[in-house]
């Protein structure tokens, strides 16, 4: 059964659209990794395809059960391909051709484009006419970290709804249902708080645990003006894997974000994996320095994507960070 934790605004908004009868044919569900974008998309798809036709899925009819089993013929997941695992122009054209075919069951069909962050402009353009004038029975749901991944012409023709972290109690309940004990739950939530997906990944992925430790070590090194410690963190063997390095830079950037935000409002909710260090860092860095480190981190991430040497990237970032931290 598809269950959404938190995200009351998303559920209320969607249910209100269903009740009003003014249901748009396109949605973009956006937000950071782990917050349940695909779960929300499946919840919406189940509602749209539910045989009882209510404002929420019944989770009991044949349609809902088939979605749970992953065998519903009218819930279609277009194929991703290429090195970036994205949606090609050819795939989008196939969707356009298939969209005129009537549903197999019921009176609706849903195309769910999960993880659509890397969808290229030509592919989006090939979908534009269909999104502008879809058949009455066709619905589209896209999920992405940022809605900025989409063309303004597409954004103007769909409803975009953001997902958000759930409360600590909801997160703990969700993790407990998966069989984690209280110690594991506390450990994960100290790092990722209300992000259920990331808490689960943290508990199951030793690499992510190491990356979180490296992020904390990097923050401590800036606080203590320990250039050697920072370089050691940045040059860890764990980060030789480019995917790990990308995750580390994203997590490090969130620490810098929290450091800047807490200067303005110390009570603001932190989003990084080490809020205590972020608060200390906020007392160490000026707003200008935090902005410079953020831009340097963004550049390092771009250099990784361009296959620049890890040694050069991290040595350069270390130098810039320490200059800003002095």
Specify which residues 109 forms β-bridges with: 138
Q: Residue 87: left (phi > 0), alpha (psi -120 to 50), or beta?
A: beta
Phi, then psi, of 11 in degrees rounded to 5: -65, -45
Residue 107 forms part of a structural domain: yes
* Res 1: pLDDT: 67
Q: Are residues 249 and 153 in the same domain?
A: no
**Closest by CA position to 8, among listed 167, 221, 218, 178:** 167
Q: Give the long-range contacts of residues 56-60, CB within 8 A, separation 24 or more.
A: 56/15, 57/2, 59/1, 59/2
Residue 84 forms part of a structural domain: yes
Q: Are residues 215 and 158 in the same domain?
A: no
Task: Write the CATH number for 219.
Answer: 1.20.272
| Residues in CB range of 265: below 8 A, 6 or more apart | none
Residue 189 forms part of a structural domain: no
* Res 37: pLDDT: 96
| Residues in CB range of 315: below 8 A, 6 or more apart | 231, 234, 235
Q: How far is it, in rounded angstroms, from Cα 322 to Cα 293?
A: 9
DSSP calls for 33-86: TTS-HHHHHHHHHHHHH-TT--SS--S-SHHHHHHHHT--TTEE-PPPBTTTTB
Full domain range(s) for residue 109: 8-162
Residue 185 forms part of a structural domain: no
Is the Cβ–Cβ distance between 233 and 172 less than 8 Å? no
Residue 183 forms part of a structural domain: no
Q: How far is it, in rounded angstroms, from Cα 165 to Cα 140?
A: 24
Q: Are residues 29 and 96 in the same domain?
A: yes
Task: Write the CATH number for 67.
Answer: 3.40.50.300
Number of other CB atoms surrounding residue 277 within 10 Å: 22
Q: Select from 128, 162, 196 the last residue of a domain.
A: 162
Residue 179 forms part of a structural domain: no
Q: Are residues 272 and 143 in the same domain?
A: no
Specify which residues 76 forms β-bridges with: 111
Residue 86 forms part of a structural domain: yes
Mind listing the pLDDT tens digit of every residue in the chain (326 residues)?
A: 678 888 999 999 999 999 988 899 999 999 999 999 999 999 999 999 999 988 999 999 999 999 999 999 999 999 999 877 899 999 999 999 999 999 998 899 999 999 999 899 999 999 999 999 999 999 999 999 999 999 999 999 999 999 999 999 999 999 999 999 999 999 999 999 899 999 999 999 999 999 999 999 999 999 999 999 999 999 899 998 988 999 999 999 999 999 999 888 777 778 899 989 999 999 888 889 999 999 999 999 988 888 888 888 888 999 999 888 66
Q: Are residues 154 and 209 in the same domain?
A: no
Q: Are residues 28 and 146 in the same domain?
A: yes
Q: Select from 162, 184, 219 the last residue of a domain.
A: 162
Is the Cβ–Cβ distance between 17 and 25 less than 8 Å? no
Q: For the chain, how many structural domains are there in total? A: 2
* Res 325: pLDDT: 66
Q: Are residues 153 and 209 in the same domain?
A: no
Phi, then psi, of 247 in degrees rounded to 5: -65, -45
Residue 320 forms part of a structural domain: yes
Q: Are residues 93 and 227 in the same domain?
A: no
If DSSP codes are grouped into helix, strand and coil, which group holds residue 226? coil
Q: Are residues 137 and 241 in the same domain?
A: no
Q: How far is CA 158 from the centre of its chain?
A: 19
Is the Cβ–Cβ distance between 240 and 210 less than 8 Å? no
Number of other CB atoms surrounding residue 207 within 10 Å: 14
Q: Select from 107, 136, 162 the last residue of a domain.
A: 162
Q: Are residues 12 and 132 in the same domain?
A: yes
């Amino acid at each position: 059964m598809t269950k959404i934790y938190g995200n009351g605004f998303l559920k209320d908004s969607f249910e209100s659209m269903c009740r009003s009868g003014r249901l748009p044919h396109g949605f973009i569900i956006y937000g950071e990794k782990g917050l349940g974008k695909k779960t929300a998309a499946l919840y919406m798809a189940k509602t749209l395809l539910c045989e009882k036709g209510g404002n929420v899925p019944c989770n009991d009819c044949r349609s809902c059960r088939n979605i749970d089993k992953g065998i519903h013929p009218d819930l279609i997941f277009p194929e991703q391909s290429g090195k970036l695992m994205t949606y090609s122009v050819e795939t989008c054209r196939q969707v356009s051709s298939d969209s005129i075919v009537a549903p197999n069951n019921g009176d609706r069909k849903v195309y769910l484009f999960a993880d659509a962050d890397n969808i290229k402009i030509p592919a989006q353009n090939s979908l534009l006419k269909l999104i502008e004038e879809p058949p009455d029975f066709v619905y589209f749901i896209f999920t992405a970290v940022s809605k900025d991944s989409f063309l303004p012409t597409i954004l103007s023709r769909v409803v975009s709804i953001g997902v958000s972290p759930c409360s600590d109690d909801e997160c703990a309940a969700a993790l407990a249902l998966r069989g984690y004990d209280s110690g594991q739950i506390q450990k994960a939530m100290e790092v990722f708080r209300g992000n259920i997906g990331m808490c689960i990944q943290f508990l199951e992925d030793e690499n992510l645990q190491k990356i979180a430790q490296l992020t904390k070590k990097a923050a401590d090194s800036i606080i203590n003006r320990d250039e050697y410690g920072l370089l050691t963190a940045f040059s860890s063997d764990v980060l030789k894997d480019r995917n790990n390095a990308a995750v580390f830079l994203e997590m490090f950037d969130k620490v810098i974000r929290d450091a800047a935000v807490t200067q303005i409002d110390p009570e603001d909710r932190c989003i990084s994996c080490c809020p205590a260090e972020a608060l200390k860092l906020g007392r160490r860095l000026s707003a200008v320095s935090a902005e410079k480190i953020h831009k340097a981190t963004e550049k390092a991430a771009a250099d990784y994507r361009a296959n620049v040497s890890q040694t050069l990237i991290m040595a350069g970032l270390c130098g810039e960070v320490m200059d800003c931290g002095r």
